[in-house]
Amino acid sequence: DGLWDWDILADSIYVSPRFCEIAGLKPSDSLIQPKGVFARLHPDEAPTYRQKLIAHIKGYSPQFMMEHRIRLPNGSYQWVMTRGVALRDETTGRAFRMAGSISDINLRKTAEERLVHDALYDSLTGLTNRGLFVAHLKSALGQRNRDEDFRFAVLAINLERFRLVNDSFGHASGDALLRQLADRIRGTLRQGDVAARVGGDQFAVLLNGIGDATEALRLTESLRKRLAEPVDVEGHTLYPNTRIGVALSEGISDDAEALLRDADNALHQARQSKAGAVEVFHASMHTKALHSLRLEADLRAALRARDLTVYYQPIVSLSDGRVCSYEALARWPHPTEGLLGPVHFIPLAETLDLIHPLCMQVVDQVCAQLRSWQEQSPDGVALPVSINLSAKQFALASLADEIMAVARQHRIPPSLLRFEITESLLAAPDSRTAHTLHALRSAGMAVLIDDFGTGFSALSYLHTMPCDVIKLDGSFVRSIMEDQRLRAIVGRSIELAHDLGIAVVAECIETEAQSELLHGMGCDFGQGYLFARPQKAEFFDTAAKLIANDGLGR
């Protein structure tokens, strides 16, 4: 420690060489003036320093002790601890001298400041973290309660397809993208607004002191456009796409977490919407979110109890009406909401990463049913069944092996299983997807492309990716009678598929006219309410009778 001795009457301070070293003084500066010390105090601590010093000199405290900063000759500040005790006249009690020490605590204080900073700020972007952001929300709520004219808004911002950036270019590129977007958010906000990173690819913004909802949306749209501008990340030009949920301060409770939750609910709606990238929270979203949470818990319980069931819809030959195969369709007998179709729980299962165990339960039930049909048939024959697989499942290297293991367990030939995938898998194939599809086909399982023609020019991929059947999307079939141009597209698609040795199924056939037209265009098979609705397996006859019949009697 450095030592100092202050002669109060002479108004001069003697300092030791170590004091000079800590304070950045020359070794020859062993005698200094108090005013020189005061001038070098940090402005934030100078008033408190003077108050404590005067209080001790007047005898109001047993000693003087304070952590504070002093300015070094280079203009920077250093943290020190100053201690001192006054010597007093025995008769008057007045201080005439004061001596003490000064300690260098810069490393400790810097470490403490870093700990505090890390506890409140995101280490990657420098934005506030969730905890500090919630504290700012509480402050805004308090101000709103004090001033009824004060309004604010909370934005929940999600960077879409961020995982693809990490997977394609590496986590360093992903981090660089997040830092650049954080800088853009900072640069777009007004004074008094607060930005935070609250998740891996999610940000939050507090817009303080807005005039009304229109201003909030104008600021939100301005921010969204700024974030959408191209970003150069390590030589790659990326085009960020964000979705934003907005929660306004009017008519809400004093719960900061609830307000942030409302913004998240609006964000969830924005991510599902095809109309726009920004959604404003309203009460029905909260009701929907609660329903989704309940449905999530129920779905997990249903999977544990294996409560899901399978319905079957025939796929028939358009030339003679004979049943050639079935599509397996998952159904959920919900205890309070009745029988739910896939649209009510498959997207939820994909979000929760439950889609693979769900699909494997379907595979298991289908294999068991196929075995039952085989045993009912005098010659042990059953019709093939196609099962829908999620694109997410193709990230699993073990997918084909798991499916074949279930088939072996139920002692059915793999050729009785067919698997339907969406054409999005063909539009962005990877080696693992190609390997899995090849493994399934090598085992004798057919691959069908479902909802063909709904979003990608998939015909260009059919010659490189393994595929046996395409299923024309129902939207084509519903409009084919009235739309001549659509008929031309469908006809050409059928011709190209046949040229590649691929069969064609038309989905959602509901009328004889549709069936006859598609048959005349060369379509091989049909599926839809014209032939049969999805039903439990028990609804259909045994496999032997189904194969022997002359059609469905339509």
Cβ-Cβ contacts under 8 Å for 58 (sequence gap 6 or more): none
Q: Which domains are delineated in the chain?
A: 2-106 (3.30.450.20), 121-281 (3.30.70.270), 311-329+354-548 (3.20.20.450)
Range of lowest pLDDT (268-277, 284-293, 368-377, 399-408): 284-293
pLDDT attached to residue 551: 46
The H or E element spanning position 526 is strand 525-526
pLDDT attached to residue 27: 86
Q: Residue 481 — pLDDT band, cuts 50, 70, 90?
A: very high
Question: CA–CA distance from 395 to each of 58, 402, 408, 425, 441 (Å)?
Answer: 76, 13, 23, 11, 18
Higher pLDDT, 431 or 54: 54
Beta bridge partners of 77: 71
- pLDDT tops 70 at residue 260: yes
Higher pLDDT, 365 or 257: 365
Q: Work out the burial of residue 496: count CB atoms within 10 Å of its CB; fewer than 13 is exposed, 13-18 middle, 19 or more buried.
A: middle
| pLDDT above 90: percentage of residues in the chain | 66
pLDDT attached to residue 546: 47
- pLDDT tops 60 at residue 323: yes
| Average confidence (pLDDT) over 43-58 | 95
Higher pLDDT, 88 or 281: 88
| Average confidence (pLDDT) over 450-457 | 68
| Average confidence (pLDDT) over 345-360 | 93
Q: Residue 544 — pLDDT band, cuts 50, 70, 90?
A: very low
User: Residue 206 in contact with residue 194, Cβ under 8 Å?
Assistant: yes
Q: What are phi and psi of 336, to 5 degrees?
A: -120, -25
User: Residue 34 in contact with residue 13, Cβ under 8 Å?
Assistant: yes
- Do the strands 446-452 and 469-472 form a parallel or antiparallel pair, or are they unpaired? parallel
pLDDT attached to residue 419: 96
Nearest residue to 327 (alpha-carbon basis) of 403, 408, 384, 400: 384
pLDDT attached to residue 234: 83
User: Residue 355 in contact with residue 343, Cβ under 8 Å?
Assistant: no
Higher pLDDT, 542 or 340: 340
- pLDDT tops 60 at residue 225: yes
Higher pLDDT, 368 or 377: 368
Cβ-Cβ contacts under 8 Å for 38 (sequence gap 6 or more): 46, 49, 50
Mean pLDDT of all residues belonging to the chain: 89
Q: Residue 358 — pLDDT band, cuts 50, 70, 90?
A: very high
Q: Which of 35-39, 282-286, 524-528 reaches the highest mean pLDDT?
A: 524-528
| Average confidence (pLDDT) over 439-463 | 78
At 460-469, the pLDDT tens digits run 666 666 789 9
Q: Residue 22 — pLDDT band, cuts 50, 70, 90?
A: very high
| Average confidence (pLDDT) over 387-400 | 93
Higher pLDDT, 14 or 169: 14
Region for residue 444 given its phi and psi (left: phi exceeds 0; alpha: psi -120 to 50; beta: otherwise): left
d(CA 71, CA 543) in angstroms, rounded, equals 91
pLDDT attached to residue 236: 85
- pLDDT tops 90 at residue 325: yes
Higher pLDDT, 275 or 159: 159
Q: Residue 156 — pLDDT band, cuts 50, 70, 90?
A: very high
d(CA 80, CA 68) in angstroms, rounded, equals 6
Q: What is the pTM of this model?
A: 0.59
| pLDDT above 70: percentage of residues in the chain | 92
Q: What are phi and psi of 16, to 5 degrees?
A: -80, 165
d(CA 498, CA 495) in angstroms, rounded, equals 5
pLDDT attached to residue 168: 81
Range of lowest pLDDT (41-50, 165-174, 397-406, 462-471): 462-471
